[in-house]
Amino acid sequence: MEKNWYNKSREEVFQEFGISEDIGLNDEQVLKNREKYGSNELQAQKKKSLFVKFLEQFKDFMIIVLILAAVVSGIVGYIEEGKITDSIIILVVVIVNAIIGVAQEAKAEKSLEALQKLSSHSAKVIRNGQVNVIASRELVPGDIVVLDTGDYVPADLRIIEAANLKSQEASLTGESVPSEKNAATIENEKVGVGDRNNMLFSSSLITYGRGKGVVVATGMNTEVGKIAGIISNTVKSETPLQTKLNKLGKTLGIAALVICVVIFVIGLIYGKAPLDMFMTAVSLAVAAIPEGLAAVSTIVLAIGVQKMVKKNAIIKKLPAVETLGSASVICSDKTGTLTQNKMTVEKVFYDGKLIDIKDIKDSEAQDLKRLVHISMLCNDTKVSASNELTGDPTETALVDMGFKLDFTPELYVSYPRVEELPFDSERKLMTTVHKVGDKYLVYTKGGVDELLKRCKGYEFEGNVKYDLDSYTAQITQQNEQMAQNALRVLAMAYKDLDHMPSKEEMKEIESDLIYVGMVGMIDPPREEVKLAVEKCKSAGIKTVMITGDHKITATAIAKALGIMEDGDEAITGAELEEMTDEQLIERVKRIAVYARVSPEHKVRIVKAWQANGEIVAMTGDGVNDAPALKTSDIGCAMGIVGTDVSKEAADVILTDDNFSTIVSAVEEGRRIYDNILKAIQFLLSSNVGEIIILFLAILIAPLLASKFRIDIKLIEPLLPIHILWVNLVTDSLPALALAVDPAEKDIMNRKPNKKQKGVFTKGMTWRIVYQGLMIGLLTLTAFILGLATKDVPVIEGKTPEEVRVAIAQTMAFVVLALSELVHVFNIRNNRKSLFTSGLFSNLILIGAILLSACLMFAVLLVPLFRNIFDIVPLPTANIIETICLVFAPMVIVEIFKLFKINTIKGE
C-alpha cells in the first residue's frame, strides 16, 4: 500500500529509511535501495528494432518507384531474354542504401544518447556525512537532497528543511504561481498534489529559497512517472537548411519527372523499346533527385556536433550549429566566462581605512571580527570536513578570507542560522538571521549602493554612529577606487533583535541596519579571452559584456580584454531603464558594456540587436537568464555554474564556462556550414550533369544516328545500371568525406552570413549550373568520341555497330564517374587554386576518392562485372581520350578561378 509521506513527521521519515539528517545514507544502504527500487529514470520510449528501421528505409517515394522498376524489369527481362541482371543490381543498390541508412540512424541515436548523458541533470546529495554532486539517475529513496534556487527537483521529496522555499509545479498541477513550501507535517490524509506543501515533486523547479528533502519516490514511482506512464523527450527537429534542401529536392523531383516523361515519349517516337525507355526514365529520375542531400547535411551536422563536444561545447539542437556559424554578436556574462571565476578578496574597508588583505597582522584580525562574521555566516558556501569550499565563487572567496584570518568553521555551530532571505538579482542583497544565546543577529551583505539605502548608522572603532550621510562620501570614494582597479565590492551590515522575527517581519528585515565595512575582490580576466575577442573582431563579430557588477569595474575589465574601444559606450541598468525600445535599437551598436543590469534587461538587449538584423549569441547561468537564452538566436548556458533551468533553455552548453569556447564553436559552426554548402554544390552539379547528358543525347539522337550510321534505337549514352552505380558510389562517399574538410585559413577573417541570406546565392547557383553543364558536356563528348571509333575490335556475340556503341557507353560511364571524383577537389575552395589550398589536407576525402576509383576500376577490369554492366575494354586511343576528359574539370575550373569567374562579385 502506498505511503502518504506528507502525513509523516521528519523523525518518522528518518526512521523509515534508517538515516539521520547529517549523515544520510551509507554506501551499503544506497546499493540495497538501488537493488530494491532501481534507477531514478522514467521508462524510456520503446526503441525500434533493427528490422523495423530497415523497413522504414523503403518508405521514400523514389525508392518505391525504383523497386517497382526492378520488378517490372525483372518480369519483362526474364520473359523476353531470360535475364534479370538489371533487377538484381537495382535491388542490391536499394538494399545497400537501406543498410547505410540504418547504420547512420543507429550512429545518430548513439550520439544523441551520449549528448543527453552529458547534459543530464545532477543533484547535491548528503551521503556518509558528505555533500556530493551525483547524476540524478543515481538517486535512491532515503537520499537527502540539498536544493537551492534554480535547481530542478530530481525525485519526489519529503521536505525536512525549508528557507523561503518556493517551487514551480506547473508541469504537474497546472498552477502557474510557484507553491510555498515548508517542512511541517500535514494531518489531513486526503490532500491533493497541489496542496502537499511539505512535498517537492520530480521535474518541478525551485524558484526561490533553499531547502533539504528526503527522496521518497524515484523514476516511475514519482507523481510525474505515474501520470506520464511513458514520457519521451525526444524531439526530432528539422534544421532550417534541411527544410530548404527537402523543398529543393521536391522541386528538382518534379522537374526530373517532367524530363523523364519527355525522354520516354521521345524515345518511343524514335522507336525504342518501351521497357528500355521506362528503365532509362526511372534511372534518370532517381539520379536527378538528390535524395541524399538532407541526409548528408544531417550527417555533416552530427559529425560537427561530436567534434564540438571535444571542444567543450555540447550542442543540444542541430539547427544551433548552422546558426552559430552566422553569429554576428556575442553577449557574454563577465564573471566566469570572460574571467577565471576564482574570486579572491584583496582589499578590506573598515573603520575608515582601506587596507590590503595580505597586510593585515594577526593582532589586527580580531578588529575585523564583525565584518568576517557577516562574510562567513551570511553565506551559502558548503564547507566539507577537509575545509574544501563549494558554492558561488564570490561567497567562497569570503569564507576563504575568514579562514586566512584564522576564523574557523566552528563559527557555524556557535551562530546557527534560523531564518534567511536568499540573494536575488532584484534586491542585490542577502540576509540571514542567527541565534546567539537569547539574542538574534541579522546579517546582510550585498551591493554597496543598495545596502546603504537600508542603513541608519555605521560602526566605527567598535562604536555605532548615526551621521551616516557624512560617512557615505568616504564609503563611495573608496568603493569607486576599488572598482577602478576592477575589484568587485560587497558591503556588510547588521542589526540586533531580541526576538525571532516572524514571517511578516522577515519581509521588512532589511531596514535600519548598521553599516560595518566593505570587501573588494578580484576575478582576473582569462588569458585566452583577449585572443578570442581579437578573433571575433577580425570575424566581424561584436563582443558585448553584460554584468551585474559596478560600471567602473566592468569598464576596467572590458578595456583590458579589448571589448571596449574608443567610441564605445558603457551604460548601467538604470540608464537602460530610462531608454525606450526605439532609443535602445538606435544606440545598441555603440554600447559595449552593460553594468548593474538585471536579467530582464538582457531580453531587451537581445531584441535590440535582432532588430538591427544581427544574429545574437547570449550566455547565461541563472534561473532568470532563461528568457534571454530563449529569445537569443543561440543561447549558451554555463556547464559548471549554470542552473538546470538555464541549461534547459539553452541551445549550447559550455562545459568549461569559457568565452573562448563560444568563439571556437562559432568557428566550427562556420566550417560545418561551409562543408554542407560544398556537399550541396558537389551533389547538385553531378545531378545536373546526369540530366544534361541523358536529355541532350535523346534530343540529338537522330543527328548521331545519321552521322555515325547507327540504328537510333542503340543511341543511349548511359544504361540505367550505370546511373545507379554513379549515384551510389561516385556521389555518396566523397560528399560524406567533405564533412571533415578542414576550415579555410581565412574562415574567421570574413564577415558573418546575414540572416536573410539563403543557401542558393547567385554564386552558388552559377557554379552548380556551369559545373553541371561541364560534366554533362564532357560525358556527351566521351560518348560521341566513342561512336567515332574507327578501328573497332571484334567482340563475340556483338555486331561492329553494337561494339562501337558499347565503347561509347563505356567511355561515357568512365568519364561521368571519374570526372566527378576529380571535380571534388575543385569544390573544396571556390576562390583559391586546388594546388594552393592543401591538396592532401583532407586524408579522409583522399581515401573516399581512392575507394570509389578502385570500385570503378574493378567494374572496368573484372570480366564478370564488365558483363553485368554491359561495358567493354577500351582501345588504347580511347583510353587516352578518356583520361583527358576525366581530368578536364580540373583544368576548366582552375581557368574559371584564375579569371575570377568561378565566383560572382560581392559573394
| DSSP letters for 144-200 | EEEE-TTPBP-SEEEEEEEEEEEEE-HHHH---SPEE---PPP--S---GGG-TTEE
Mean pLDDT of 865-869: 89
**Is-contact 456 514, C-beta < 8 A?**
yes
What percentage of the chain has pLDDT greater than the value 90?
43
pLDDT higher at 885 or 381: 885
Looking at residue 903, its pLDDT comes to 82
**pLDDT tier at 179, thresholds 50, 70, 90:** confident
State the pLDDT confidence band at 174, using cuts at 50, 70 and 90. low
Side chain identity at 312, as an amino acid letter?
N
Query: What angle is formed at CA 707 by the lines to CA 704 and CA 712, rounded to 5 degrees?
Result: 45
Expressed in angstroms, the distance from the first to the final Cα of the chain is: 71
Write phi, then psi, for 346 (nearest 5 degrees). Answer: -110, -35
> Does 60 score more than 80 pLDDT?
no
Task: Note the pTM of the prediction, 2 decimals.
Answer: 0.70
Which range has the top average pLDDT, 229-238, 274-283, 770-779?
A: 770-779
- Predicted confidence at residue 231, as pLDDT, reads 34
- Section 868-882 average pLDDT: 92
Q: Which three cell numbers stand for residue 857?
A: 576500376
Burial label for 743, CB within 10 Å (0-12, 13-18, 19+), is middle
Q: Which tops the pLDDT comparison, 840 or 97?
A: 840
Q: Give the distance from CA 691 to its chain's centroid.
A: 38
What digits encode the pLDDT tens for the residues 503-540? 899 999 999 999 999 999 987 788 889 999 999 999 99
Question: Which of 590, 536, 544 minimizes the C-alpha distance to 568?
Answer: 590
What is the pLDDT at residue 904?
79
Angle between helices 800-827 and 659-699 (to 10 degrees): 160
| pLDDT attached to residue 880 | 95
Q: Which tens digit of pLDDT belongs to each residue from 546-562?
A: 988 778 878 888 998 99
- The residue behind cell 579571452 is 529
Ordered DSSP codes for 533-547? HHHHHHTT-EEEEE-
Q: What is the pLDDT of residue 291?
A: 58
Cα separation, 796 vs 791, whole angstroms: 16
pLDDT confidence bin for 111, thresholds 50/70/90:
low
pLDDT surpasses 80 at 288: no
What pLDDT is stored for residue 232 in this prediction?
Answer: 39
Encode 203-215: b = buried (16+ Cβ within 10 Å), e = exposed: bbbbbbbbbbbbb
Q: Which range among 295-299, 382-386, 813-817 has the greatest average pLDDT?
A: 813-817
Helix, strand, or coil (residue 415): coil
Active-site annotation holds for 333: yes
Element (H, E) at 489: strand 487-497
Residue 725 reports pLDDT greater than 90 = no
Kindly state the average pLDDT of the residues 242-256: 70
> Please, what is the average pLDDT of the chain?
85
301 has a pLDDT exceeding 90? no
> Quick check: 113 pLDDT over 70?
no
Q: How many CB atoms lie within 10 A of CB 276?
A: 16
Residue 236 pLDDT grade (very low, low, confident, very high; cuts 50, 70, 90): very low
Q: What is the mean pLDDT of the segment spanning 777-805?
A: 91
Q: What is the mean pLDDT of residues 617-646?
A: 80
* pLDDT confidence bin for 496, thresholds 50/70/90: very high
Secondary structure element (H or E) that encloses residue 298, with its range: helix 292-310
DSSP letters, 579-600, are S-HHHHHHHGGGEEEEES--HH
- Are the C-beta atoms of 821 and 686 separated by less than 8 Å? no
Look at residue 453 and tell me whether its pLDDT is greater than 90. Answer: yes
638 near 110, Cβ under 8 Å? no
Average pLDDT over residues 781-795: 91
What proportion of the chain, given as a percentage, has pLDDT over 70?
A: 88
Q: Is the pLDDT of residue 65 over 80?
A: no
97 vs 712, residue with greater confidence: 712
Q: Quick check: 102 pLDDT over 60? A: yes
**Residue 128 is placed in which grid cell?**
556518509
What integer pLDDT is reported at residue 589 of this predicted model?
Answer: 95
pLDDT at 266: 84
User: Does pLDDT of 233 surpass 50?
Assistant: no
Which pLDDT score is estimated for 243? Answer: 66
User: With bands split at pLDDT 50, 70 and 90, how would you rate the model's confidence at 257?
Assistant: confident
**What is the mean predicted confidence (pLDDT) over 856-872?**
92
pLDDT at 862 over 70: yes
pLDDT over 70 at 46, yes or no: no
Average pLDDT over every residue of 820-838:
89
- Asked if residue 119 has pLDDT above 70, the reply is no
Q: Distance between CA 723 and CA 733 in Å, rounded?
A: 16
907 pLDDT band, cuts 50/70/90, is low
Indicate the pLDDT class of residue 147, thresholds 50, 70 and 90: very high
Please give the pLDDT value at position 103.
74
Q: How many CB atoms lie within 10 A of CB 433?
A: 22
Do residues 567 and 545 lie in contact, with contact meaning Cβ atoms separated by under 8 Å?
A: no
Q: Report helix, strand or coil for 460.
A: strand
User: Residue 762 in 3-state DSSP?
Assistant: helix
Return the pLDDT at 363: 75
pLDDT at 238 over 60: no
Please tell me which residue in 156, 333, 621, 633 is annotated as part of the active site.
333
Helix and strand numbers (H, E) in the chain are 34, 26
The Cα–Cα gap between 331 and 287 comes to 46
Question: How many Å apart are CA 542 and CA 752, to the nearest integer?
Answer: 11
* Three-state secondary-structure class, residue 568: coil
Cell of 191: 490532500
